[in-house]
Amino acid sequence: MPIVRQMLGTDALAMRLLNPLQPVFALCARWYVSLQFLRSGYLKVTSWDSTLYLFENEYHTPLLPPHVAAYAGAFGELFFPTMLVLGFMSRLSALGLFAVNAVAVISYKQVLLAEGSEAALGQHILWGTLILFLCIYGSGVLSIDYWLRRPSAVRI
């Protein structure tokens, strides 16, 4: 039993050292994943003709006509990450971004699931994992959500 107590003590020490990093990790996760989608959204709106071409010919978005999907995709890739960077309505924004990520994989599955595209699919899995982390654990204390929900915050 002494070895177990020693291990538990070491784990408790690790917890005391690492727990203060949780807000920074949540902030970095929010910023990292948001940056990926903001870049893609920016590229969509600055190359709109190419975006429309891709949605008409390459992406196979379920349920939506190509032009509607292009607008929805650009909106989702700009709106949800912006909210997530700010930490405002983080869980809903993360859910929205998770949906955008899932639709991207589904719409481009002929490429992402092809042999040789494992790294590209891996990126979407990484982003999805980080987004789910934010959905479940929230955005942390370095967010607008936290400051609005503090007990001392003014209630509207």
Report how far residue 147's alpha carbon sits from residue 140's, in angstroms, rounded to the nearest whole number.
10
Angle at 25 between CA 131 and CA 146, to 5 degrees: 80
Give the pair of three-digit tokens for residue 18.
Answer: 């690492």
Q: What is the pTM of this model?
A: 0.86
Structural domain spans, the chain: 22-149
Give which of 128, 97, 99, 123 is closest to 112, Cα–Cα.
123
pLDDT per residue as tens, the chain (156 positions): 778 777 767 888 889 999 999 999 999 999 999 999 999 999 999 999 999 999 999 998 888 999 999 999 999 999 999 999 999 999 999 999 999 999 999 998 888 888 888 999 999 999 999 999 999 999 999 999 999 988 765 555
